[in-house]
Amino acid sequence: MMQSSTSTNSTRPVRTRIAPSPTGFPHVGTAYIALFNLAFAKAHGGEFILRIEDTDQTRSTEQSEKMILDALRWVGLDWAEGPDIGGPHAPYRQSERSDIYKKHAEQLIENDHAFRCFCTSEELDAMRAAQMANGETPRYDGRCAHLAPEKTAQLVSEGKPHVIRMRVPTEGVCQVHDMLRGTVEIPWTQVDMQVLLKTDGMPTYHLANVVDDHLMDISHVLRGEEWLNSAPKHQLLYEYFGWEMPVLCHMPLLRNPDKSKLSKRKNPTSITYYRDAGVLPEALLNYLGRMGYSMPDEAEQFTLEEMIASFDIQRVSLGGPIFDIEKLNWLNAEWLRALTPEELKNKILDWASNSDKLTAIAAAIQPRIELLSDAVNWGGFYFQNLPNINAESFTHKSLTPEQITEMLQLALWQLETLPTWSEENIYATLKGLAAHLDIKMRDFMAPFFIAIAGSTSSTPVMNSMAIIGADMTLTRLRHAVDVLGGLGKKKLKKLEKQAAELPDFCLLNNLEAE
C-alpha cells in the first residue's frame, strides 16, 4: 500500500512566487496571494519572484499580462525577478519554456512514471459518460497505461495525436503536509492520471508548475486552497524527479458576503476597478492583508512594512475571509482622513489625471461644451463610482421595468465575455442583442444611458462604456439591475437558459464585415 508524504520544514533560502495567468483582468485574489507570498519571503529575509503562466495560448494576451503587472505594481507589490525585469532563472513566461517541459516529460516516460495516451476526445467523453451512468467519479481509466512499447512506438511513428499522462498509484493514501492544516490525507483513488503534456506540445499547469518551481529554487508555495486536491499530483511528480518539494501553504479563498467564492458576477473583482473608483493602493493592500489575517496588536490599519515586520503565517485563519466592499470603503476613508490637505490634493490629482482617459473624455465632451466649467456637468459621470439613480429613473414609454431589467441582465452577461473591451465590440454586442430581442435600437439604448451616465442627456453611451472600461461598466450595469429590483430565481434561471442560446454577436459582426 503506497503512502507518500513530505515535510513542512525547509532549510533552503526562502523564495516564494506568484504566477498569474494573463487571461483577463488583474484579480484582487491574485494581489491577495501575492501579498502573502511577498510578506512571508521578506519576513524570512528571502526573495519574492513573479512568473507568467501562459500555457493557455488561446486565452493568454500581452494586454492582460501588462495589466496584471501594472496593477500589482500600483497596489504596492514588487518582485526581485520576472518577465519584465529578467533574472538568473529566465525566461519567466511558460510559453518560452516549452522545450524544458518536453524534456522533463520525456524523462518521466523513460523512467516509466508517465505514458503516452492516444485516446480521442470522443473516447474520453464516452468513458466519462459510462462512469457517471454507473455512479462512479469520472476519471481516466488507464486504458493506454499498459500499451506494449512496440504498439506505442508504432502509433507515434504513424503520427497519431497523443498526450502524455502521469502514472498514479492505485491504492493507498497520499499524505500532504500543509503549513496551516497539518497533514491532509487524500486517497490515491481520488487522484486522476493527469495530462502533463498536451497534443500541441504545451504543458498543463501541473507539469509546468512543478518544473518551474524546482528550477527557480522556490522553497515555499503559498497558493489558494482550491489547489489542495492537486497537491498529490505535484508531490508525486517531485518524487518521480527526485527533487525536494517546496513547503506548501494553501490559503483560504476570498468570499462574497454570502460566503460564495468571490466572483465578478456578484462583486467587482478587478484591481483596476478599485483603482478607478478611487481606492488608495495602500488601503487596498491593507484590506487584503486583513483577509483571514490579524496583526499581533489587532491593528486594523497598517502598512506593508508593518505587516512584514511582524508577519507570522500561523496567524492566518482558515475561515473563508469575506471581501466586503463597504468595509474596504470604510478603511479607505480612514487612510484618506489621515492625509494632510496637501497630500489629499496630490492623491486626487494622481487619480484624476490618467492621461489616456482624460484625452478620451475631452474628445467626447468637446462638441458639447461652451465653457470649461461645462466639463463638470458633461464629464462628471466618468469619475463617479455609481450614478445616483433609482427605479423611476428608468421609466420608459415603450418598455416595462421587467423588460428593461432582463435586457440589462442579458447585456451584462454578454459583455462579460468580450475578448477585447472596445467600442466596436460593445456596439456589435448591443446592436445584436437589440435585434435578437426585436427592440428598436433607440428604445434599447435608453436604459444604458441611465445605467452608465445617470441621464439620457450625455455623451454617446457606447463610447462612454469604452472609456470607463469593462470593470466600471459591468459594475454600473449590475447596480442598475439591483436598483430595478433584480430578477427572481425562476426568472433568472429562465433568462440564463435564454442567454446560453444567444449567438456570439461580435463573431457574427466580424463575419459580416468579411
Mean pLDDT of 504-509: 74
Q: Judging by DSSP bridges, how do beta strands 220-224 and 247-251 pair with one another?
A: parallel
Alpha helices in 324-440 (DSSP H): 325-337, 341-352, 355-365, 374-379, 401-416, 423-436
DSSP structural state of residue 272: H
- Give the list of residues 6+ apart from residue 18 with CB closer than 8 angstroms, or none: 30, 33, 34, 37, 48, 50, 72, 79
Is 311 among the domain residues? no
Choose the catalytic residue: 261, 264, 347, 489.
264
Cell numbers for 248: 506548501
Task: Give tens-digit pLDDT for 201-237.
Answer: 999 999 999 999 999 999 999 999 999 999 999 999 9
**Is 66 known to be catalytic?**
no
Whether residue 433 is contained in a domain is answered as yes
The verdict on residue 147 lying in a domain is no
Residue 255 DSSP code:
B
Using alpha carbons only, how large is the chain's radius of gyration in Å? 26
Mapping DSSP to helix (H, G, I), strand (E, B) and coil, where does residue 376 land? helix
For 39-59, how does the pLDDT look when each residue is reduced to its tens digit (9 = 90+)?
Answer: 999 999 999 999 999 988 888
Beta-carbon contacts of 105 under 8 Å, excluding residues fewer than 6 positions away, are 114, 164, 196, 197, 203, 207
Within a domain: 168: no
Task: Pick the closest to residue 495 from 407, 400, 416 (CA basis).
Answer: 407
174 assigned to some structural domain: no
- DSSP state, 27? B
Average pLDDT of every residue of the chain: 93
Rounded-to-integer distance, Cα 128 and Cα 65, Å: 35
Query: For position 510, what pLDDT does the model report?
Result: 63
pLDDT at 265 over 90: no
Per-residue pLDDT tens over the stretch 292-343: 999 999 999 999 999 999 999 999 999 889 999 999 999 999 999 999 999 9
In a domain, 388, yes or no: yes
Counting the structural domains of the chain, the total is 1
Who contacts 190 (Cβ-Cβ below 8 Å, separation ≥6)? 137, 229
Angle of CA points 154, 158, 160, to nearest 5°: 100
Examine the pLDDT at 124 and tell me if it is beyond 50: yes
User: Average pLDDT of 161-168?
Assistant: 97
Domain of 402 in residue numbering reads as 359-513
Is 431 contained in some domain? yes
The long-range contacts involving 378-385, CB below 8 angstroms and separated by at least 24 positions, are: 378/458, 378/459, 379/459, 381/452, 381/453, 381/454, 381/455, 381/458, 381/464, 382/357, 382/464, 382/467, 382/468, 383/352, 384/454, 385/277, 385/278
The pLDDT of residue 352: 87
* Domain CATH for 410: 1.10.10.350
Peptide bond before 341: cis, by omega within 30 degrees of 0?
no
Sequential DSSP letters for 173-230? EEEEEETTTEEEEEEGGG----EEE-TTSPBPHHHHHHHHHHHTT--EEEEEGGGGGG
**Which range has the top average pLDDT, 52-56, 239-243, 508-512?**
239-243
Helical segments of 454-504, H only: 461-483, 489-500
pLDDT at 56 (0 to 100): 86
For position 203, what pLDDT does the model report? 95
Q: Using one digit for the tens of pLDDT, what is the confidence trace for 406-456?
A: 999 999 999 998 878 999 999 999 999 999 999 999 999 999 999 999 999
Residue 218 lies in a domain: no
Count Cβ atoms below 10 Å from residue 303 Cβ, excluding itself. Answer: 13
- pLDDT above 90 covers a percentage of the chain that reads 84
Query: Is the pLDDT confidence value at 9 over 80?
Result: no
Tens of pLDDT along 55-106? 888 888 898 999 999 999 999 999 999 999 999 999 999 999 999 999 999 9
Tell me, what's the pLDDT at 505?
Answer: 83
